Protein backbone atom coordinates (compact mmCIF):
# COMPACT_ATOMS: atom_id res chain seq x y z
CA UNK A 1 0.00 0.00 0.00
CA UNK A 2 2.86 2.36 0.89
CA UNK A 3 4.44 1.82 -2.53
CA UNK A 4 1.10 2.39 -4.31
CA UNK A 5 0.73 5.74 -2.54
CA UNK A 6 4.36 6.70 -3.28
CA UNK A 7 4.01 5.97 -7.00
CA UNK A 8 0.57 7.61 -7.08
CA UNK A 9 1.95 10.71 -5.44
CA UNK A 10 4.93 10.90 -7.81
CA UNK A 11 2.85 10.26 -10.95
CA UNK A 12 0.41 12.96 -9.91
CA UNK A 13 3.20 15.36 -9.08
CA UNK A 14 5.11 14.96 -12.31
CA UNK A 15 3.13 13.21 -14.98
CA UNK A 16 -0.34 14.67 -14.51
CA UNK A 17 -0.09 18.32 -15.33
CA UNK A 18 -2.53 20.22 -13.15
CA UNK A 19 -3.20 22.82 -15.80
CA UNK A 20 -4.44 20.07 -18.19
CA UNK A 21 -7.02 18.92 -15.66
CA UNK A 22 -7.96 22.49 -14.90
CA UNK A 23 -8.64 23.12 -18.59
CA UNK A 24 -10.88 20.03 -18.72
CA UNK A 25 -12.76 21.16 -15.63
CA UNK A 26 -13.31 24.66 -17.01
CA UNK A 27 -14.45 23.43 -20.44
CA UNK A 28 -16.76 20.75 -19.02
CA UNK A 29 -18.45 22.95 -16.44
CA UNK A 30 -18.73 25.87 -18.83
CA UNK A 31 -20.56 23.64 -21.32
CA UNK A 32 -22.84 22.26 -18.60
CA UNK A 33 -23.57 25.73 -17.23
CA UNK A 34 -24.30 27.08 -20.72
CA UNK A 35 -26.71 24.22 -21.44
CA UNK A 36 -28.36 24.87 -18.07
CA UNK A 37 -28.68 28.59 -18.85
CA UNK A 38 -30.18 27.87 -22.26
CA UNK A 39 -32.81 25.59 -20.68
CA UNK A 40 -33.59 28.12 -17.94
CA UNK A 41 -33.86 30.81 -20.60
CA UNK A 42 -36.30 28.64 -22.60
CA UNK A 43 -38.38 27.94 -19.46
CA UNK A 44 -38.49 31.62 -18.48
CA UNK A 45 -39.31 32.74 -22.06
CA UNK A 46 -42.16 30.20 -22.27
CA UNK A 47 -43.31 31.32 -18.83
CA UNK A 48 -43.47 34.95 -19.99
CA UNK A 49 -45.52 33.92 -23.06
CA UNK A 50 -47.82 31.45 -21.24
CA UNK A 51 -47.97 33.31 -17.96
CA UNK A 52 -46.86 30.14 -16.09
CA UNK A 53 -43.41 28.60 -15.46
CA UNK A 54 -43.16 24.95 -16.53
CA UNK A 55 -40.22 23.47 -14.59
CA UNK A 56 -40.75 20.04 -16.12
CA UNK A 57 -39.04 21.29 -19.27
CA UNK A 58 -35.78 21.14 -17.41
CA UNK A 59 -36.06 17.36 -17.77
CA UNK A 60 -34.73 17.88 -21.27
CA UNK A 61 -31.52 18.96 -19.61
CA UNK A 62 -31.43 15.56 -17.89
CA UNK A 63 -30.85 13.62 -21.12
CA UNK A 64 -28.32 16.09 -22.49
CA UNK A 65 -26.30 16.26 -19.26
CA UNK A 66 -26.24 12.50 -18.68
CA UNK A 67 -25.15 11.75 -22.24
CA UNK A 68 -22.53 14.52 -21.95
CA UNK A 69 -21.10 13.03 -18.75
CA UNK A 70 -20.90 9.57 -20.33
CA UNK A 71 -19.10 11.12 -23.29
CA UNK A 72 -16.67 12.90 -20.94
CA UNK A 73 -15.79 9.58 -19.29
CA UNK A 74 -15.57 7.96 -22.71
CA UNK A 75 -13.13 10.59 -23.97
CA UNK A 76 -11.02 11.14 -20.85
CA UNK A 77 -10.47 7.60 -19.56
CA UNK A 78 -8.39 6.47 -22.57
CA UNK A 79 -6.43 9.76 -22.44
CA UNK A 80 -5.46 9.11 -18.82
CA UNK A 81 -5.17 5.34 -18.91
CA UNK A 82 -5.07 3.66 -22.31
CA UNK A 83 -1.41 4.51 -22.90
CA UNK A 84 -0.38 4.53 -19.27
CA UNK A 85 1.33 1.19 -18.64
CA UNK A 86 2.79 0.68 -22.10
CA UNK A 87 4.13 4.25 -21.93
CA UNK A 88 5.75 3.61 -18.56
CA UNK A 89 7.18 0.38 -19.93
CA UNK A 90 8.66 2.06 -22.99
CA UNK A 91 10.12 4.84 -20.85
CA UNK A 92 11.84 2.14 -18.72
CA UNK A 93 10.01 3.45 -15.65
CA UNK A 94 8.46 0.06 -14.93
CA UNK A 95 11.87 -1.63 -15.09
CA UNK A 96 13.36 0.98 -12.76
CA UNK A 97 10.55 0.46 -10.27
CA UNK A 98 10.67 -3.34 -10.47
CA UNK A 99 14.42 -3.21 -9.93
CA UNK A 100 13.96 -1.58 -6.52
CA UNK A 101 11.56 -4.40 -5.63
CA UNK A 102 8.30 -2.57 -6.15
CA UNK A 103 5.77 -5.22 -7.17
CA UNK A 104 4.17 -5.04 -10.61
CA UNK A 105 0.68 -5.14 -9.03
CA UNK A 106 1.58 -2.07 -6.95
CA UNK A 107 2.58 -0.25 -10.14
CA UNK A 108 -0.60 -1.33 -11.95
CA UNK A 109 -2.87 -0.29 -9.06
CA UNK A 110 -1.04 3.04 -8.64
CA UNK A 111 -1.42 3.87 -12.33
CA UNK A 112 -5.06 2.76 -12.26
CA UNK A 113 -5.93 4.86 -9.23
CA UNK A 114 -4.04 7.83 -10.66
CA UNK A 115 -6.20 7.78 -13.79
CA UNK A 116 -9.39 6.99 -11.92
CA UNK A 117 -8.91 9.75 -9.35
CA UNK A 118 -8.31 12.29 -12.13
CA UNK A 119 -11.45 11.11 -13.89
CA UNK A 120 -13.50 11.24 -10.70
CA UNK A 121 -12.27 14.78 -9.95
CA UNK A 122 -13.52 15.83 -13.39
CA UNK A 123 -16.89 14.10 -12.86
CA UNK A 124 -17.41 15.25 -9.28
CA UNK A 125 -16.76 18.86 -10.30
CA UNK A 126 -19.82 18.62 -12.56
CA UNK A 127 -22.05 17.15 -9.86
CA UNK A 128 -23.17 20.42 -8.19
CA UNK A 129 -24.61 21.72 -11.48
CA UNK A 130 -26.25 18.36 -12.19
CA UNK A 131 -27.64 17.90 -8.65
CA UNK A 132 -29.06 21.45 -8.41
CA UNK A 133 -30.62 21.39 -11.86
CA UNK A 134 -32.05 17.89 -11.45
CA UNK A 135 -33.40 18.64 -7.98
CA UNK A 136 -35.16 21.78 -9.11
CA UNK A 137 -36.25 19.96 -12.26
CA UNK A 138 -38.37 17.64 -10.15
CA UNK A 139 -36.05 14.67 -9.64
CA UNK A 140 -35.96 12.95 -6.28
CA UNK A 141 -32.64 12.82 -4.41
CA UNK A 142 -32.62 9.01 -4.59
CA UNK A 143 -32.77 9.05 -8.37
CA UNK A 144 -30.02 11.66 -8.52
CA UNK A 145 -27.78 9.52 -6.28
CA UNK A 146 -28.54 6.49 -8.42
CA UNK A 147 -27.46 8.37 -11.50
CA UNK A 148 -24.26 9.60 -9.85
CA UNK A 149 -23.52 6.08 -8.56
CA UNK A 150 -24.07 4.70 -12.03
CA UNK A 151 -21.73 7.27 -13.57
CA UNK A 152 -18.99 6.73 -10.99
CA UNK A 153 -19.13 2.93 -11.22
CA UNK A 154 -19.09 3.23 -15.01
CA UNK A 155 -15.92 5.34 -14.68
CA UNK A 156 -14.41 2.71 -12.35
CA UNK A 157 -15.12 -0.08 -14.85
CA UNK A 158 -14.10 1.81 -17.96
CA UNK A 159 -10.81 2.89 -16.33
CA UNK A 160 -10.10 -0.76 -15.53
CA UNK A 161 -10.90 -1.71 -19.14
CA UNK A 162 -8.48 0.98 -20.35
CA UNK A 163 -5.66 -0.16 -18.08
CA UNK A 164 -6.21 -3.78 -19.08
CA UNK A 165 -6.01 -2.80 -22.76
CA UNK A 166 -2.86 -0.74 -22.11
CA UNK A 167 -1.11 -3.90 -20.91
CA UNK A 168 -2.10 -5.89 -23.99
CA UNK A 169 -0.65 -3.64 -26.68
CA UNK A 170 2.87 -2.26 -26.80
CA UNK A 171 1.75 0.55 -29.13
CA UNK A 172 -0.05 3.31 -27.21
CA UNK A 173 -2.06 4.43 -30.25
CA UNK A 174 -3.45 0.95 -30.80
CA UNK A 175 -4.43 0.60 -27.16
CA UNK A 176 -6.09 4.06 -27.23
CA UNK A 177 -8.08 3.09 -30.33
CA UNK A 178 -9.17 -0.25 -28.84
CA UNK A 179 -10.11 1.54 -25.61
CA UNK A 180 -12.34 3.99 -27.48
CA UNK A 181 -14.07 1.10 -29.27
CA UNK A 182 -14.57 -0.73 -25.97
CA UNK A 183 -15.82 2.52 -24.43
CA UNK A 184 -18.34 3.07 -27.22
CA UNK A 185 -19.77 -0.42 -26.69
CA UNK A 186 -19.91 0.05 -22.91
CA UNK A 187 -21.59 3.46 -23.26
CA UNK A 188 -24.27 2.08 -25.58
CA UNK A 189 -24.97 -0.77 -23.15
CA UNK A 190 -25.18 1.67 -20.23
CA UNK A 191 -27.45 4.15 -22.00
CA UNK A 192 -29.72 1.25 -23.04
CA UNK A 193 -30.03 0.06 -19.43
CA UNK A 194 -30.13 3.58 -17.92
CA UNK A 195 -33.90 3.79 -17.36
CA UNK A 196 -34.18 0.21 -16.06
CA UNK A 197 -31.42 0.83 -13.56
CA UNK A 198 -32.67 4.24 -12.41
CA UNK A 199 -36.23 3.00 -11.95
CA UNK A 200 -35.38 -0.24 -10.17
CA UNK A 201 -34.29 -0.11 -6.53
CA UNK A 202 -32.23 -3.29 -6.49
CA UNK A 203 -30.71 -3.12 -9.97
CA UNK A 204 -28.47 -0.15 -9.18
CA UNK A 205 -26.80 -2.09 -6.35
CA UNK A 206 -26.26 -5.08 -8.63
CA UNK A 207 -24.89 -2.74 -11.32
CA UNK A 208 -22.44 -0.97 -8.99
CA UNK A 209 -21.22 -4.19 -7.36
CA UNK A 210 -20.86 -5.90 -10.76
CA UNK A 211 -18.83 -2.97 -12.14
CA UNK A 212 -16.51 -2.81 -9.13
CA UNK A 213 -15.89 -6.58 -9.03
CA UNK A 214 -15.26 -6.71 -12.78
CA UNK A 215 -12.87 -3.73 -12.44
CA UNK A 216 -10.86 -5.43 -9.70
CA UNK A 217 -10.65 -8.61 -11.79
CA UNK A 218 -9.47 -6.65 -14.84
CA UNK A 219 -6.82 -4.71 -12.88
CA UNK A 220 -5.60 -7.91 -11.23
CA UNK A 221 -5.36 -9.66 -14.59
CA UNK A 222 -3.45 -6.66 -15.98
CA UNK A 223 -0.40 -7.51 -13.87
CA UNK A 224 -0.09 -10.87 -15.59
CA UNK A 225 0.35 -9.71 -19.10
CA UNK A 226 2.43 -10.59 -22.10
CA UNK A 227 3.70 -7.02 -22.37
CA UNK A 228 5.80 -7.30 -19.21
CA UNK A 229 6.53 -10.98 -19.12
CA UNK A 230 7.70 -11.39 -22.69
CA UNK B 1 26.37 -12.29 -4.55
CA UNK B 2 24.10 -12.86 -7.51
CA UNK B 3 23.87 -16.44 -8.74
CA UNK B 4 22.27 -17.69 -11.93
CA UNK B 5 21.66 -21.45 -11.79
CA UNK B 6 20.67 -23.26 -14.97
CA UNK B 7 18.72 -20.26 -16.20
CA UNK B 8 16.77 -20.94 -19.34
CA UNK B 9 14.57 -18.42 -21.12
CA UNK B 10 12.31 -19.14 -24.05
CA UNK B 11 10.25 -16.44 -25.73
CA UNK B 12 7.85 -17.29 -28.56
CA UNK B 13 9.48 -20.73 -28.92
CA UNK B 14 12.92 -19.20 -29.38
CA UNK B 15 15.61 -20.11 -26.86
CA UNK B 16 17.02 -16.81 -25.64
CA UNK B 17 19.14 -18.23 -22.79
CA UNK B 18 20.32 -21.82 -22.51
CA UNK B 19 21.06 -23.27 -19.08
CA UNK B 20 23.21 -20.35 -17.96
CA UNK B 21 25.05 -20.75 -14.66
CA UNK B 22 27.44 -18.23 -13.21
CA UNK B 23 27.93 -16.00 -10.18
CA UNK B 24 28.44 -12.26 -9.91
CA UNK B 25 30.46 -11.60 -6.73
CA UNK B 26 29.68 -8.61 -4.52
CA UNK B 27 31.50 -5.42 -5.47
CA UNK B 28 32.95 -6.97 -8.61
CA UNK B 29 33.05 -5.37 -12.06
CA UNK B 30 31.38 -8.04 -14.15
CA UNK B 31 31.32 -7.70 -17.94
CA UNK B 32 28.85 -9.68 -19.98
CA UNK B 33 30.24 -9.64 -23.48
CA UNK B 34 28.45 -10.72 -26.60
CA UNK B 35 27.24 -9.67 -29.99
CA UNK B 36 23.66 -8.69 -30.81
CA UNK B 37 21.01 -11.25 -29.77
CA UNK B 38 23.48 -13.02 -27.52
CA UNK B 39 21.15 -12.68 -24.51
CA UNK B 40 22.85 -9.86 -22.59
CA UNK B 41 19.75 -7.69 -22.32
CA UNK B 42 17.60 -10.67 -21.38
CA UNK B 43 19.88 -11.37 -18.42
CA UNK B 44 19.40 -7.74 -17.37
CA UNK B 45 15.61 -8.04 -17.76
CA UNK B 46 15.67 -11.11 -15.51
CA UNK B 47 17.79 -9.31 -12.91
CA UNK B 48 15.51 -6.25 -12.86
CA UNK B 49 12.36 -8.36 -12.66
CA UNK B 50 10.82 -7.67 -16.06
CA UNK B 51 11.16 -11.31 -17.17
CA UNK B 52 9.84 -13.77 -14.65
CA UNK B 53 8.98 -16.61 -16.97
CA UNK B 54 12.43 -18.19 -16.93
CA UNK B 55 13.42 -21.65 -15.73
CA UNK B 56 16.18 -22.18 -13.19
CA UNK B 57 17.13 -19.99 -10.26
CA UNK B 58 18.35 -16.43 -9.90
CA UNK B 59 19.51 -15.80 -6.35
CA UNK B 60 20.79 -12.83 -4.39
CA UNK B 61 22.69 -13.90 -1.28
CA UNK B 62 21.05 -17.32 -1.57
CA UNK B 63 17.46 -16.07 -1.85
CA UNK B 64 15.22 -15.61 -4.90
CA UNK B 65 16.12 -12.24 -6.38
CA UNK B 66 12.46 -11.33 -6.88
CA UNK B 67 11.50 -12.01 -3.30
CA UNK B 68 14.02 -10.07 -1.28
CA UNK B 69 13.50 -6.44 -0.47
CA UNK B 70 17.10 -5.75 0.55
CA UNK B 71 18.54 -6.00 -2.95
CA UNK B 72 18.29 -2.74 -4.84
CA UNK B 73 19.22 -3.05 -8.48
CA UNK B 74 19.34 -0.21 -10.94
CA UNK B 75 19.91 -0.11 -14.65
CA UNK B 76 21.26 2.45 -17.07
CA UNK B 77 19.77 1.78 -20.49
CA UNK B 78 21.30 2.46 -23.83
CA UNK B 79 17.92 3.30 -25.35
CA UNK B 80 15.58 6.03 -24.20
CA UNK B 81 12.10 7.38 -24.68
CA UNK B 82 11.33 10.30 -22.44
CA UNK B 83 8.38 12.38 -21.59
CA UNK B 84 8.73 15.75 -23.34
CA UNK B 85 6.77 17.48 -20.58
CA UNK B 86 9.17 16.94 -17.70
CA UNK B 87 12.41 18.70 -16.92
CA UNK B 88 15.66 17.09 -15.75
CA UNK B 89 14.93 18.34 -12.22
CA UNK B 90 11.38 16.91 -12.26
CA UNK B 91 12.70 13.62 -13.65
CA UNK B 92 15.20 13.23 -10.81
CA UNK B 93 12.64 14.25 -8.21
CA UNK B 94 10.11 11.80 -9.62
CA UNK B 95 12.44 8.90 -8.83
CA UNK B 96 13.75 10.43 -5.61
CA UNK B 97 10.16 10.53 -4.34
CA UNK B 98 9.88 6.80 -4.93
CA UNK B 99 13.34 5.78 -3.74
CA UNK B 100 12.98 7.85 -0.54
CA UNK B 101 16.73 7.67 0.03
CA UNK B 102 17.04 11.42 0.63
CA UNK B 103 15.41 13.86 2.97
CA UNK B 104 13.39 16.45 1.00
CA UNK B 105 15.60 19.27 2.32
CA UNK B 106 18.83 17.53 1.34
CA UNK B 107 17.63 16.41 -2.07
CA UNK B 108 17.73 19.80 -3.82
CA UNK B 109 21.29 20.38 -2.63
CA UNK B 110 22.36 16.90 -3.72
CA UNK B 111 20.81 17.26 -7.18
CA UNK B 112 22.56 20.62 -7.65
CA UNK B 113 25.91 19.18 -6.51
CA UNK B 114 25.66 16.28 -8.94
CA UNK B 115 24.46 18.47 -11.82
CA UNK B 116 27.45 20.74 -11.22
CA UNK B 117 29.78 17.76 -11.02
CA UNK B 118 28.68 16.62 -14.49
CA UNK B 119 28.45 20.21 -15.85
CA UNK B 120 24.69 19.80 -16.33
CA UNK B 121 23.48 22.72 -14.23
CA UNK B 122 22.34 24.62 -17.32
CA UNK B 123 20.04 21.69 -18.20
CA UNK B 124 18.30 21.57 -14.82
CA UNK B 125 15.07 23.07 -16.13
CA UNK B 126 15.39 21.75 -19.68
CA UNK B 127 12.97 19.11 -20.91
CA UNK B 128 14.69 15.76 -20.49
CA UNK B 129 13.62 14.86 -23.99
CA UNK B 130 15.73 17.69 -25.42
CA UNK B 131 19.09 16.74 -23.93
CA UNK B 132 21.44 14.61 -26.02
CA UNK B 133 22.14 10.94 -25.35
CA UNK B 134 25.47 11.58 -23.65
CA UNK B 135 24.07 14.09 -21.16
CA UNK B 136 21.05 11.84 -20.68
CA UNK B 137 23.39 9.07 -19.52
CA UNK B 138 24.91 11.47 -17.00
CA UNK B 139 21.42 12.39 -15.75
CA UNK B 140 20.75 8.68 -15.40
CA UNK B 141 23.93 8.30 -13.35
CA UNK B 142 22.63 11.02 -11.02
CA UNK B 143 19.28 9.19 -10.78
CA UNK B 144 21.13 5.98 -9.94
CA UNK B 145 23.26 7.75 -7.33
CA UNK B 146 20.03 9.00 -5.69
CA UNK B 147 18.75 5.41 -5.63
CA UNK B 148 22.03 4.20 -4.11
CA UNK B 149 21.56 0.58 -5.27
CA UNK B 150 23.64 -2.48 -4.38
CA UNK B 151 23.92 -3.54 -7.99
CA UNK B 152 24.15 -1.34 -11.09
CA UNK B 153 23.56 -2.73 -14.56
CA UNK B 154 25.02 -0.78 -17.50
CA UNK B 155 23.68 -1.57 -20.94
CA UNK B 156 26.21 -0.50 -23.60
CA UNK B 157 27.42 2.34 -21.43
CA UNK B 158 30.37 3.30 -23.61
CA UNK B 159 28.55 3.41 -26.93
CA UNK B 160 29.49 7.03 -27.62
CA UNK B 161 32.41 8.01 -29.85
CA UNK B 162 33.06 11.12 -27.79
CA UNK B 163 36.40 10.47 -26.05
CA UNK B 164 36.00 13.29 -23.51
CA UNK B 165 32.58 12.06 -22.51
CA UNK B 166 33.79 8.46 -22.17
CA UNK B 167 36.67 9.67 -20.06
CA UNK B 168 34.30 11.60 -17.78
CA UNK B 169 32.04 8.57 -17.53
CA UNK B 170 34.91 6.20 -16.78
CA UNK B 171 36.24 8.50 -14.09
CA UNK B 172 32.88 8.40 -12.29
CA UNK B 173 32.51 4.63 -12.76
CA UNK B 174 35.98 4.12 -11.29
CA UNK B 175 34.81 5.90 -8.13
CA UNK B 176 32.15 3.19 -7.73
CA UNK B 177 34.54 0.26 -8.19
CA UNK B 178 34.82 -1.79 -5.02
CA UNK B 179 31.75 -0.13 -3.49
CA UNK B 180 28.99 -1.48 -5.74
CA UNK B 181 28.49 -4.52 -7.89
CA UNK B 182 28.84 -3.17 -11.43
CA UNK B 183 27.56 -5.32 -14.29
CA UNK B 184 28.24 -4.24 -17.85
CA UNK B 185 26.58 -5.65 -20.96
CA UNK B 186 28.65 -4.72 -23.95
CA UNK B 187 29.69 -5.65 -27.45
CA UNK B 188 33.21 -4.41 -26.84
CA UNK B 189 35.83 -4.28 -24.12
CA UNK B 190 36.66 -0.64 -24.78
CA UNK B 191 36.99 1.29 -21.53
CA UNK B 192 35.60 -1.59 -19.44
CA UNK B 193 38.66 -3.78 -19.87
CA UNK B 194 40.66 -1.56 -17.56
CA UNK B 195 38.27 -1.93 -14.62
CA UNK B 196 36.79 -5.40 -15.24
CA UNK B 197 37.38 -8.07 -12.65
CA UNK B 198 35.17 -10.78 -14.16
CA UNK B 199 34.08 -11.61 -17.69
CA UNK B 200 31.28 -13.73 -19.16
CA UNK B 201 31.24 -14.27 -22.90
CA UNK B 202 27.89 -15.12 -24.47
CA UNK B 203 26.94 -16.37 -27.89
CA UNK B 204 23.24 -16.76 -28.81
CA UNK B 205 22.24 -17.51 -25.25
CA UNK B 206 25.10 -19.91 -24.53
CA UNK B 207 27.98 -19.27 -22.21
CA UNK B 208 31.31 -19.45 -24.04
CA UNK B 209 33.47 -18.57 -21.03
CA UNK B 210 33.03 -17.11 -17.57
CA UNK B 211 35.25 -16.31 -14.61
CA UNK B 212 37.81 -13.88 -13.33
CA UNK B 213 39.24 -11.78 -16.12
CA UNK B 214 42.66 -13.38 -15.80
CA UNK B 215 41.15 -16.88 -15.92
CA UNK B 216 39.17 -16.08 -19.04
CA UNK B 217 42.23 -14.52 -20.66
CA UNK B 218 44.23 -17.58 -19.70
CA UNK B 219 41.61 -19.83 -21.29
CA UNK B 220 41.83 -17.70 -24.39
CA UNK B 221 45.62 -17.72 -24.13
CA UNK B 222 45.61 -13.96 -23.80
CA UNK B 223 47.03 -11.79 -21.09
CA UNK B 224 47.12 -8.17 -20.06
CA UNK B 225 50.70 -7.71 -21.08
CA UNK B 226 52.67 -4.71 -19.91
CA UNK B 227 55.30 -3.17 -22.13
CA UNK B 228 58.18 -1.15 -20.67
CA UNK B 229 60.67 0.75 -22.76
CA UNK B 230 63.94 1.56 -20.96
CA UNK B 231 66.78 3.76 -22.14
CA UNK B 232 69.65 1.70 -20.67
CA UNK B 233 70.48 -1.15 -18.24
CA UNK B 234 67.80 -3.42 -19.67
CA UNK B 235 69.32 -6.54 -18.08
CA UNK B 236 69.20 -4.93 -14.65
CA UNK B 237 65.55 -4.06 -15.27
CA UNK B 238 64.79 -7.66 -16.27
CA UNK B 239 66.53 -8.97 -13.13
CA UNK B 240 64.46 -6.65 -10.94
CA UNK B 241 61.25 -7.80 -12.63
CA UNK B 242 62.19 -11.47 -12.24
CA UNK B 243 62.41 -10.98 -8.45
CA UNK B 244 58.71 -10.09 -8.38
CA UNK B 245 56.47 -13.15 -7.86
CA UNK B 246 53.49 -11.41 -9.53
CA UNK B 247 55.35 -11.19 -12.83
CA UNK B 248 55.61 -13.90 -15.49
CA UNK B 249 56.24 -14.40 -19.20
CA UNK B 250 59.05 -11.84 -19.39
CA UNK B 251 60.18 -11.25 -22.96
CA UNK B 252 62.66 -8.52 -23.90
CA UNK B 253 64.86 -7.12 -26.64
CA UNK B 254 67.29 -4.18 -26.71
CA UNK B 255 64.86 -1.62 -25.37
CA UNK B 256 61.49 -3.17 -24.66
CA UNK B 257 60.47 -5.62 -21.95
CA UNK B 258 57.02 -7.18 -22.01
CA UNK B 259 55.52 -9.26 -19.20
CA UNK B 260 52.22 -10.34 -17.61
CA UNK B 261 50.93 -9.93 -14.09
CA UNK B 262 49.74 -13.31 -12.86
CA UNK B 263 48.75 -12.65 -9.27
CA UNK B 264 45.23 -13.30 -8.07
CA UNK B 265 44.13 -9.68 -7.85
CA UNK B 266 40.42 -9.01 -7.54
CA UNK B 267 40.09 -5.31 -8.06
CA UNK B 268 41.36 -3.01 -10.71
CA UNK B 269 42.52 -0.52 -8.06
CA UNK B 270 44.76 -3.20 -6.48
CA UNK B 271 46.14 -4.16 -9.87
CA UNK B 272 46.98 -0.54 -10.55
CA UNK B 273 48.80 -0.45 -7.23
CA UNK B 274 50.85 -3.54 -8.18
CA UNK B 275 51.78 -1.89 -11.48
CA UNK B 276 52.66 1.37 -9.76
CA UNK B 277 54.91 -0.55 -7.33
CA UNK B 278 56.71 -2.27 -10.22
CA UNK B 279 57.36 1.09 -11.89
CA UNK B 280 58.51 2.64 -8.60
CA UNK B 281 60.92 -0.22 -7.93
CA UNK B 282 62.50 0.16 -11.37
CA UNK B 283 62.93 3.90 -10.93
CA UNK B 284 64.22 3.54 -7.35
CA UNK B 285 66.89 1.17 -8.72
CA UNK B 286 68.06 3.79 -11.19
CA UNK B 287 66.42 2.30 -14.31
CA UNK B 288 65.53 5.05 -16.79
CA UNK B 289 61.98 4.09 -17.84
CA UNK B 290 60.95 5.81 -21.05
CA UNK B 291 57.43 4.37 -21.30
CA UNK B 292 55.19 2.02 -19.33
CA UNK B 293 51.95 0.87 -20.96
CA UNK B 294 49.36 -1.87 -20.80
CA UNK B 295 48.36 -3.79 -23.92
CA UNK B 296 44.57 -3.88 -24.16
CA UNK B 297 42.66 -7.04 -25.02
CA UNK B 298 39.88 -6.53 -27.56
CA UNK B 299 36.58 -8.39 -27.47
CA UNK B 300 36.99 -9.68 -31.02
CA UNK B 301 40.41 -11.05 -30.09
CA UNK B 302 39.02 -12.70 -26.96
CA UNK B 303 35.92 -14.07 -28.69
CA UNK B 304 37.99 -15.38 -31.61
CA UNK B 305 40.42 -17.19 -29.31
CA UNK B 306 37.65 -18.68 -27.15
CA UNK B 307 35.78 -19.96 -30.18
CA UNK B 308 38.98 -21.42 -31.53
Q: Could you tell me the residue ranges of all domains in chain A?
A: 2-229
| Number of A–B residue contacts, CB under 8 Å | 80
Task: Name the average pLDDT for chain B.
Answer: 85
Contact A100/B50, CB-based, under 8 Å? no
**pLDDT tens figures, A69-120:** 778 788 878 887 877 787 788 888 888 888 877 888 888 888 888 888 888 8
Instruction: Name the band, by pLDDT with cuts 50, 70 and 90, for residue B31.
Output: very high
B125-128: long-range pairs with CB below 8 Å, 24+? B125/B87, B125/B88, B125/B89, B126/B87, B126/B88, B127/B82, B127/B84, B127/B85, B127/B86, B127/B87, B128/B82, B128/B83, B128/B86, B128/B87, B128/B88, B128/B90, B128/B91
Q: How large is the ipTM?
A: 0.70
pLDDT for the residue B70: 63
pLDDT for the residue A189: 83
Does A32 have pLDDT greater than 80? no
Neighbours of B209 (CB within 10 A): 21
Give the least confident one: A215-219, B19-23, B56-60, B222-226.
Answer: B222-226
Please report, rounded to a whole number, the percentage of residues in chain A having pLDDT higher than 70: 81
Contact A229/B95, CB-based, under 8 Å? no
C-alpha torsion sign, points A106, A111, A114, A116: negative
B223-307: CATH, from 1.10.940.10, 1.10.10.10, 3.30.70.100, 3.40.50.2020: 3.30.70.100
Question: What residues of A are in contact with residue B63 (Cβ under 8 Å)?
Answer: none
B96 vs chain A: nearest CA distance in angstroms?
Answer: 9
Average pLDDT over residues B119-125: 91
Give the least confident one: B50-59, B240-249, B251-260, B291-300.
Answer: B291-300
A223 touches chain B (CB under 8 A): no
What is the residue extent of each domain of chain B? 2-218, 223-307
Residue of A nearest to B65 (CA): A101
A228 touches chain B (CB under 8 A): yes
Does B107 have pLDDT greater than 60? yes
A99 vs chain B: nearest CA distance in angstroms?
Answer: 4
**pLDDT tens figures, B132-149:** 888 999 999 999 999 889
Contact B98/A230, CB-based, under 8 Å? no
CATH code linked to domain B2-218: 3.40.50.300
CB contact residues (below 8 A), chain A span 89-118, against chain B: 90-92, 94-102, 104
A17 vs chain B: nearest CA distance in angstroms?
Answer: 9
This prediction's pTM: 0.74
pLDDT for the residue A230: 44
A11 vs chain B: nearest CA distance in angstroms?
Answer: 8
Amino acid sequence: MENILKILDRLNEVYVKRRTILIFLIIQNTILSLIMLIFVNVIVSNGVINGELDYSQIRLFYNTAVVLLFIIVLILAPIFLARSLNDLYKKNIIEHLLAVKIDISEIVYAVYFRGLITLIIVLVSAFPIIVISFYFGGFGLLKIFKLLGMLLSFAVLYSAVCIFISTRFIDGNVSALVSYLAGAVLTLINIYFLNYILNGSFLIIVYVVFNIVLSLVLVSVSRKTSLFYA
Amino acid sequence: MIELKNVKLNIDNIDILNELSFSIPDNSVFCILGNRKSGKSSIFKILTGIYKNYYGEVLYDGKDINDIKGCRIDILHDTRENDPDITVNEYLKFYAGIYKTFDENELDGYIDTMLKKFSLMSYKYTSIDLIDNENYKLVELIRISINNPNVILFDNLFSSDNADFNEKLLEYIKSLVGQKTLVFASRSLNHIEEIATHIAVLETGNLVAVGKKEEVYKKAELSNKIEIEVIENIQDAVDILKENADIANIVYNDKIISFSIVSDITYSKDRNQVEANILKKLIDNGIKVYSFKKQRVRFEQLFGRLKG
